[in-house]
Amino acid sequence: MNDTFGIRLTEQKRTLVAGRLSRRVRQLGYSSFHDYFLHLQEDHSGVELSELINRVTTNHSLFFREHEHFDLLAKELLPPLIQAAVKKPGGSVRIWSAGCAAGEEPYTLAMILLDLMGTLPGGRGLKAAILATDVSMDALMEAQEGLYPETRVKDLPATYRKSYLSEAGNGLWSANMDVRSLVTFKHMNLVREKYPFKSQFDIVFCRNVMIYFDTPSRTGLVEAIYKVVKPGAWLFIGHSGSLPRETCPFKYMKPASYCKLIP
Ligand SMILES: C[S@@+](CC[C@H](N)C(=O)[O-])C[C@H]1O[C@@H](n2cnc3c(N)ncnc32)[C@H](O)[C@@H]1O
């Protein structure tokens, strides 16, 4: 798990992981984790690896989680970016939610963008795209379904909820079409894959993902992100993490907020 996905499973997590995997082991008719491990090694299709990662990763997220980042985006960072993009021929705003879980984070970003596009001069003409990637297929399927219980939308400001979510019955909320249409979901392992992007990003959210990574994977990931963002771009990580200031190519700006300086 560490080499392939950067996910460090320490001895303290043994019980948690065993609990999460034992159902799968029984489902396949194995009587031990050892037999399951052999099955995993023999399966070159990637199906079992995907099942494993779905069970081991924690996909918890919320709309408007750690709202300071969204406040900064809405009030300070996005308005000038949007205005510059609409004035520039072929200009656009590109955001990447790396480790997007079930879509709460990229959909929150879409709501903020839509709101600004509706209020800023020329905003409606903006070309904007949010790429949302995750290694968990289960999380991505949930994201594409776009249905959420009250507990996950509870922090969403009332105006956003009113404009961008609809009641879908059984206590669930559904993300509206305009929100969905700004977001593209893709399966991607942040640690192993060579990033296939054609254009660079203005903003990257990689929050509460690296906390599971060991130091080399974290360093490698930050360097890889640095290469796919524009000068002046911002990187947000989760508030419970930090990047080492001496080696980090981004400049620390605010808690859990970093910027690629313009040379
Ligand atoms: C706790 S969630 C964070 C969701 C959201 N960014 C937030 O802060 O609310 C962590 C996500 O990172 C994903 N993840 C973990 N390792 C990954 C990897 N190597 N590549 C891509 N995604 C990964 C997990 O599947 C999970 O959905």
pLDDT tens readout for residues 212-226: 778 888 899 999 999
User: Which is nearest to 210 in space by CA: 71, 98, 92, 85?
Assistant: 98
The count of C-alpha atoms lying within 13 angstroms of the C-alpha of 102, restricted to the half-sphere facing its C-beta, is 20
**89-102, pLDDT tens digit by residue?**
999 999 999 999 99
pLDDT given for residue 46 in this prediction = 67
Other Cβ atoms within 10 Å of 241 Cβ, number:
15
- Which phi-psi region, left, alpha or beta, contains residue 208 (left: φ > 0; alpha: ψ -120 to 50)? left
249 CA distance to ligand 1 middle (Å): 22
Reported as half-sphere exposure (CB side, CA atoms, 13 A), residue 91 has a value of 15
Among candidate residues 110, 107, 127, 95, the one with its CA nearest the CA of residue 206: 95
Q: Ligand 1: which of 63, 134, 141 to mutate, judged by most atoms within 8 Å of the beta carbon?
A: 134
The closest of 90, 87, 99, 95 to 111, measured between CA atoms, is 95
Find the residues whose C-beta lies inside 6 A of ligand 1: 5-7, 57-61, 65, 99, 101, 105, 134-136, 139, 188-191, 207-209, 212, 238
> Which ligand 1 atom is the nearest neighbour of the CA of 205?
6
> What's the 84 CA to ligand 1 centre distance in angstroms?
31
Distance CA 246, CA 225 (A): 17
CA distances, 149 to each of 168, 218, 242 (Å)? 10, 32, 30
DSSP single-letter state for residue 239: T
Could you tell me the pLDDT band of residue 7, with boundaries at 50, 70 and 90?
Answer: low
Residue with the nearest Cα to atom 13 of ligand 1? 99
In the 8-state DSSP scheme, what is residue 92? -
- How many other C-beta atoms can be found within 10 angstroms of the C-beta atom of residue 28? 12
**Structure token pair of residue 6:** 């950067």
**Is the predicted pLDDT of residue 125 greater than 80, yes or no?**
yes
Delineate the domains of the chain, giving CATH numbers in brackets: 2-56 (no CATH), 67-259 (3.40.50.150)
3-state DSSP assignment of residue 212: helix
CA distance 190 to 210: 10
Residues 104-131, mean pLDDT to the nearest whole number:
97
Q: How many CB atoms lie within 10 A of CB 208?
A: 21
Mean pLDDT within 40-56: 77
What is the percentage of the chain residues whose pLDDT exceeds 90?
67
Q: How far, in Å, is the centroid of ligand 1 from the Cα of 133?
A: 9
Residue 138 pLDDT grade (very low, low, confident, very high; cuts 50, 70, 90): confident
Top mutation candidate among 57, 148, 204 for ligand 1, by most atoms within 8 Å of CB: 57
Closest Cα to atom 27 of ligand 1: 101
Query: Ligand 1: which of 13, 107, 135, 144 to mutate, judged by most atoms within 8 Å of the beta carbon?
Result: 135
| β-sheet bridge partners, residue 132 | 97, 185
